């Protein structure tokens, strides 16, 4: 159950509010432009609410992995610019590589109600990812209230996500964080049934914790994508040059057995698109899983599998999807992923997308708007689905 303090529970008028957002947006190496501003747009409701309430808004975020070494290419300057445009007011960018210093403190202390500033990339400080007290304290010294709206960073125990809360009296979650926890948490805790979970993506090993957790909750578990070939292999079929994690064969067998014991329907592909090479233009065709030629690799689910999977989805009242069904970045191998996205978009059910590549696929194919929720947290949504406590969520006070 959702029980965190939110910005609706606190009075921010005239207060200095440090708002942790997830502005870790992709930036084009060639042009320096932001190529996907979904995370910026998703943060706007909370920022607008704080401005409207007359808070002094101090924004912070990390970007990329500078590992404590400031670099121009990972500066948040372009984010400040986009934010200013979206908000229709100046977001002053405090371009200091040490993030917090005396000048920053001075500027913040001179802020007026409704003003907005953005600190430099918190990971320009090496202490950030080590959750070291000194930087947490520096961040805390800037504010009266701390608000975490960075769901995409909630799985990290870092200063600006977790440590800072130890040194600020009042903290809360923002609207985006609230929405993510309510929707993902609600689907896991009290799903309307039948509850179907679709897992795909490259590797079984990336998703073991998710499978372990969800096999106890779902009615149907669908396995596609690169990870499916380890399951197919475990059943005794040849998989040619397809992705294989041989050391996960026993795990796959255990899961299939566990599903049977628990009465969970576990679906794996019955046919697959195979290609001669890992290339969009390579020779490719569809075969049943019993007949995968040695010199090919599986790149997408086949037509029969699409039918099998989408029929199960259509019977569901809650569907969570993580991990593409094939190498969707190559148009010839995107059909399976597209069919799942389309079916989820069409059904009358709670539909949730978690995972960075899955969210990108769904948005790119134009189905994002038709889902109940596309999570903004890649790694964080995965960890959430694994059932582990996220440090950035745990750190925030309960009501």
Active-site residue numbers?
A: 39, 203, 356, 379
Among 142, 357, 390, 391, binds ligand ADP (CB under 6 A): 357
Smaller CB distance to Mg ion: residue 84 or 386? 386
Among 78, 377, 378, 392, binds ligand ADP (CB under 6 A): 378
Q: Which residues contact 320 (CB under 8 A, 6 or more apart)?
A: 187, 188, 195, 196, 197, 198, 214, 352, 353, 354, 385
| Tokens 């600190």, residue located | 119
Q: Does 298 bind ligand ADP (CB under 6 A)?
A: yes
Among 225, 269, 368, 377, binds ligand ADP (CB under 6 A): 225
Residues 339, 318 contacting (CB under 8 angstroms): no
Contacting Mg ion within 352-371 (CB under 5 A):
356-357
| Nearest in space to 288 (alpha carbons), one of 276, 301, 277 | 301
Q: Does 78 bind ligand ADP (CB under 6 A)?
A: no
| Tokens 């600006």, residue located | 160
Q: Which stretch binds Mg ion (CB under 5 A): 62-70, 91-99, 351-359, 360-368?
A: 351-359
Smaller CB distance to ligand ADP: residue 64 or 70? 64
Report the number of secondary-structure helices (H) and strands (E) in the chain. 13, 15
Sheet containing strand 16-20, edge to edge, reads: 91-94, 116-119, 56-60, 16-20, 145-148, 170-173
Size of the site for ligand ADP (CB under 6 A): 21
d(CA 161, CA 43): 15
Residues 227, 355 contacting (CB under 8 angstroms): no
Give which of Mg ion, ligand ADP, none residue 299 binds (C-beta under 5 to 8 Å, depending on kind). ligand ADP
d(CA 79, CA 202): 31
Q: Which stretch binds ligand ADP (CB under 6 A): 98-106, 134-142, 324-332, 383-391?
A: 324-332
Q: Does 219 bind Mg ion (CB under 5 A)?
A: no
Smaller CB distance to ligand ADP: residue 183 or 202? 202
* Bridge pairing between strands 271-275 and 220-223: unpaired
Residue numbers at the binding site for ligand ADP (CB under 6 A)? 200-202, 206, 225-226, 243, 298-299, 322-324, 326-327, 329, 355-358, 378, 382
Residue numbers at the binding site for Mg ion (CB under 5 A)? 356-357
């Amino acid at each position: 159950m959702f029980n965190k303090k939110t910005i609706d529970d606190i009075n921010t008028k005239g207060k200095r509010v440090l708002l942790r957002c997830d502005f870790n947006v992709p930036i084009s190496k060639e042009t320096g432009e932001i190529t996907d501003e979904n995370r910026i747009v998703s943060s706007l409701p909370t920022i607008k609410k704080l401005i409207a309430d007359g808070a002094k808004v101090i924004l912070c975020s990390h970007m990329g992995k500078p590992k404590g070494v400031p670099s121009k290419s990972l500066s948040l300057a372009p984010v400040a610019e986009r934010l200013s445009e979206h908000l229709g007011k100046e977001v002053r960018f405090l371009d200091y590589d040490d993030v917090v210093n005396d000048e920053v403190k001075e500027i913040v202390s001179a802020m007026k109600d409704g003003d907005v500033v953005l600190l430099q990339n918190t990971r320009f400080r090496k202490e950030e990812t080590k959750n070291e007290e000194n930087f947490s304290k520096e961040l805390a010294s800037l504010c009266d209230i701390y608000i975490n709206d960075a769901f995409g960073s909630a799985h990290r125990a870092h200063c600006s996500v977790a440590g800072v809360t130890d040194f600020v009296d009042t903290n809360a979650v923002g609207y985006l964080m609230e929405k993510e926890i309510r929707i993902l948490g609600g689907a896991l805790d009290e799903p309307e049934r039948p509850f179907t979970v679709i897992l795909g993506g490259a590797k079984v090993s990336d998703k073991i914790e998710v499978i372990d957790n969800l096999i106890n909750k779902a009615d149907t578990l669908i396995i596609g994508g690169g990870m499916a070939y380890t399951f197919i292999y475990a059943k005794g079929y040849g998989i040619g040059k397809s992705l294989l994690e041989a050391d996960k064969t026993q795990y796959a067998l255990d899961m299939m057995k566990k599903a049977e014991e628990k009465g969970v329907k576990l679906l794996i592909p019955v046919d697959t698109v195979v290609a001669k090479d890992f290339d969009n233009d390579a020779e490719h065709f569809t075969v049943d899983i019993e007949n995968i030629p040695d010199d090919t690799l599986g790149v997408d689910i086949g037509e029969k599998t699409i039918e099998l999977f989408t029929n199960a989805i259509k019977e569901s009242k809650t569907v969570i999807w993580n991990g593409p069904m094939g190498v969707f970045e190559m148009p010839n191998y995107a059909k399976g992923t597209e069919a799942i996205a389309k079916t989820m978009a069409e059904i009358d059910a709670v539909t949730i997308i978690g995972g960075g590549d899955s969210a990108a696929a769904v948005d790119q194919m134009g189905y994002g708007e038709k889902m109940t929720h596309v999570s903004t947290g890649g790694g964080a949504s995965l960890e959430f689905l694994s059932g582990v406590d996220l440090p950035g969520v745990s750190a925030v006070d309960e009501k």
